[in-house]
Amino acid sequence: MATIKDVSKHAGVSPATVSRVLNNSELVVEKTRVKVMAAVEALGYRPNTLARAMASGRSGIVGMVVPEMSAPIHARFIGEAEKLFRQHRIQLIGASGHCDPEQERDAIEFLLQCRCDALILLVEAIDDGYLKQLANREANVVLLNRHVAGLESQCITLDNLQGSFTGASHLIELGHKRIGCITGPQNKQDARERFEGFQQALQQHQLIQNPAWCVEGEFTEASGYQAMAKLADQQLTAVFCGNDEMAFGALAYCRKHGIAVPEQISILGFDDLHFASYTFPALTTMHFPADTMAIAATEFLLSNCYNIETANSAPVMTYLPTLVSRDSVADISPVE
Amino acid sequence: MATIKDVSKHAGVSPATVSRVLNNSELVVEKTRVKVMAAVEALGYRPNTLARAMASGRSGIVGMVVPEMSAPIHARFIGEAEKLFRQHRIQLIGASGHCDPEQERDAIEFLLQCRCDALILLVEAIDDGYLKQLANREANVVLLNRHVAGLESQCITLDNLQGSFTGASHLIELGHKRIGCITGPQNKQDARERFEGFQQALQQHQLIQNPAWCVEGEFTEASGYQAMAKLADQQLTAVFCGNDEMAFGALAYCRKHGIAVPEQISILGFDDLHFASYTFPALTTMHFPADTMAIAATEFLLSNCYNIETANSAPVMTYLPTLVSRDSVADISPVE
DNA sequence: TTGTACGCGTTATCAC
DNA sequence: GTGATAACGCGTACAA
């Protein structure tokens, strides 16, 4: 593959001049520029990003760690960020952390070796201390969906507590009193927050909180299905699910066992996955603005790390889930 | 960040020796190796992947282009490949082509500038000529889901035609005679192949092929929904869908309009997305082994580009979709 | 077994 | 405006 030297010889100028032309330096006379561009064309020259990074001290690479690249919600994060970054000729590289402290750490170390200019981290298992040290000494870091004390200005988070509070309140307003809950794994922060918001809503309305009505799932359909099996004979009128996938599982259980949703039982999800509108009944759920948050993280770095000002260079750092009403929740409040 | 020179000074050896230790060269005495490793630890040294790539002429980067990184099926491709590559300390970087020739080309050029050692391409719009030239001159290339004459040995494809033939035949064997079809966009190769297989199956069983029974969709739920609207009054007993997403749309239409699936009409999908088992009724569909194919592509490159032999270094290049029977297709064959 | 010196392809800092 | 030249951090012949 042709190098900058090849181009310079072909054009009869110095490598430095070629570099200037390629980097849109003003200090190049039109005639020279044309000559150089012609040589670039003729040789099919492609600047070497690696060499460029070495020389300039900027890699033009942003790394991103998500739990699982193949999970729909994470794919959305990556997809949106990649699209926006590439418009600015910045390469996003992804790595998966699998919610395991060692694997997350390994992923981060790996990205650091690639000399990423910045890191977008959606990590759950790794400890705060490591992240703080990372942010202070090693790299430009944005934390997604995680709150670390001292790093507030770099955390883009979803207000899970407020979101599930809103969701549970919606159920209550519709007349539901016997409300069950399928929570996510309680070793995860977001699952805990979502459970907490649910509990607070019930508490505020002085509703019964029966431990038998709360089952811990694993954020998967299968676990939602099994959780619903345990909840089925508790005479509940509604079930609040920690995420959509468990809600899908719960829905599947109800269909399988002839429990009509929402006539016999209402089901509320959380995340608003793409498929939520195609279940039967279509899932009422709390919308998680993943796209918006991915874009916010991207714009934050574009501005803070690359000095590129975008339409929205001071992105909002905390997002609120909004209720998306579909067909899986019934209004059972007494008729006036 | 510490460099190899810093480490060498700290350890009191030459940079070359540090390099040897880091690359597991045999020519290092144990005592030296310990000294060096201690220095590495002490300084928190991380080898610079970029510099390493420059010096060795190997970037250790594989690029991958998919139509849309946020689409579930593509996310699966990327996720699987990344997982396997990273075990071998190879970085996968993804870019989206959006099914547009210019954007696909741009994505490829961009990856080439990053000096990827190899490219995994899931591109639909770009022309064969460009790909051939690329494969012959520029890089190690694997084509996913695309057959290019002359590049057979580097194409990992799904036998769409055989798959839809199998699917349609299944419908026919179950007694269906009035079978409609919602095809994907006919400017896409896979959509055409799937339609072709469908037609061949009908032809072989001498069934009617009414043009009014075939509607072209766009591989999206919305288009499947609309297509089903056109098909609803054609007295069909089954509809073959070019992919699952359109089948989801068709399912949604049926529910909305009180058409019972599969009692009144059977629906068959194609792809076997994760979500297919959670629709109502659960979707009968043709399984697209995306995970397996992604792993095949990865192993192919591991072997052919990095000389790393894996469990399965001579992967199968053509895959056959298999029928996954769920609940959306009814047996209406006359009782014997 | 270890050290020296050069090259990888580019940018940046000087002179001219 | 343009051209030498020295970095950037590492791998690797070659020498010792």
DSSP per residue, B84-116: HHHHTT-EEEEEE-TT-HHHHHHHHHHHHHTT-
Is residue B15's beta carbon less than 7 angstroms from any atom in nucleic acid strand D?
yes
Question: Do A93 and B93 lie within an 8 Å CB cutoff?
Answer: yes
The alpha-carbon gap from B133 to the nearest alpha carbon of chain A, in Å, equals: 13
The model's pLDDT over B30-87, given as tens digits with 9 standing for 90+, comes to 899 999 999 999 999 999 999 999 999 999 999 999 999 998 889 999 999 999 999 9
Mean of pLDDT values over A140-147:
93
Contact residues, A window 169-208, toward B, CB-based 8 Å cutoff: none
Contact residues, B window 218-277, toward A, CB-based 8 Å cutoff: 221, 248-249, 251-252, 255, 275
Phi, psi of A40 (to 5 degrees): -60, -50
The model's pLDDT over B17-26, given as tens digits with 9 standing for 90+, comes to 999 999 887 7
Nucleotide nearest to B25 (CA to C1'): C1
Q: Where are the domains of chain A?
A: 4-47, 59-158, 160-288
- Chain B: residue whose CA lies nearest to A107: B86
Is residue B55's beta carbon less than 7 angstroms from any atom in nucleic acid strand D?
yes
Question: Do A48 and B113 lie within an 8 Å CB cutoff?
Answer: yes
Q: Which two tokens stand for residue A200?
A: 């607070």
Is residue B22's beta carbon less than 7 angstroms from any atom in nucleic acid strand D?
yes
The four Cα atoms A310, A311, A313, A316 give a dihedral, to 10 degrees, of -140
pTM, full prediction: 0.90
Which residue is the nearest neighbor of C11, CA to C1'?
Answer: A55
Residue A336: its pLDDT value, please? 66
Q: Which residue has the tokens 């839809």?
A: B164
Rounded Cα gap, residues A85 and A61, in angstroms: 9
A48 touches chain B (CB under 8 A): yes
Mean of pLDDT values over A151-171:
96
User: What number does CATH give the domain A59-158?
Assistant: 3.40.50.2300
Contacts of residue B107 in chain A, CB cutoff 8 Å?
A: 86
Is residue A15's beta carbon less than 7 angstroms from any atom in nucleic acid strand D?
yes
Could you say which of 3.40.50.720, 1.20.140.10, 1.10.150.530, 1.10.260.40 is the CATH number of the domain covering A4-47?
1.10.260.40
Are the beta carbons of B247 and B240 closer than 8 angstroms? no
Other Cβ atoms less than 10 A from the Cβ of B258: the count is: 7
Question: Do B115 and A70 lie within an 8 Å CB cutoff?
Answer: no
Other Cβ atoms less than 10 A from the Cβ of B175: the count is: 14
CATH architecture, range B160-288: 3-Layer(aba) Sandwich (3.40)
Please tell me which of the candidates B70, B71, B79 has its beta carbon nearest to residue A96. Answer: B79
Is B63 exposed, middle or buried, given 0-12, 13-18 or 19+ CB atoms closer than 10 A? buried
B79 touches chain A (CB under 8 A): yes
Please tell me which of the candidates A1, A113, A248 has its beta carbon nearest to residue B278. Answer: A248
Rounded Cα gap, residues A321 and A278, in angstroms: 20
Q: How far is the CA of B52 from the C1' of D13 (A)?
A: 17
Residue A244: its pLDDT value, please? 96
Residue A334: its pLDDT value, please? 85
User: Residue A310: pLDDT above 90?
Assistant: no
Mean of pLDDT values over B176-181:
97
| Distance from chain centroid for Cα B171 | 27
Closest CA to A110 of B88, B307, B34, B69: B88
Nucleotides of C under 7 A from a protein CB: 1-5, 7-13
How far CA B53 is from CA of A152, B77, B116, B117, B202, in Å, comes to 36, 26, 10, 10, 55
Q: How far is the CA of A152 from the C1' of C8 (A)?
A: 42
The model's pLDDT over A184-237, given as tens digits with 9 standing for 90+, comes to 999 988 999 999 999 999 999 999 899 999 999 999 999 999 999 999 999 999
Phi, psi of B54 (to 5 degrees): -60, -50
Residue B279: its pLDDT value, please? 87
Out of A4-8, B161-165, B273-277, least confident range: B273-277
Out of A267-271, A326-330, B57-61, least confident range: B57-61
- Chain A: residue whose CA lies nearest to B138: A1
Mean of pLDDT values over A132-145:
90
Rounded Cα gap, residues B166 and B164, in angstroms: 5
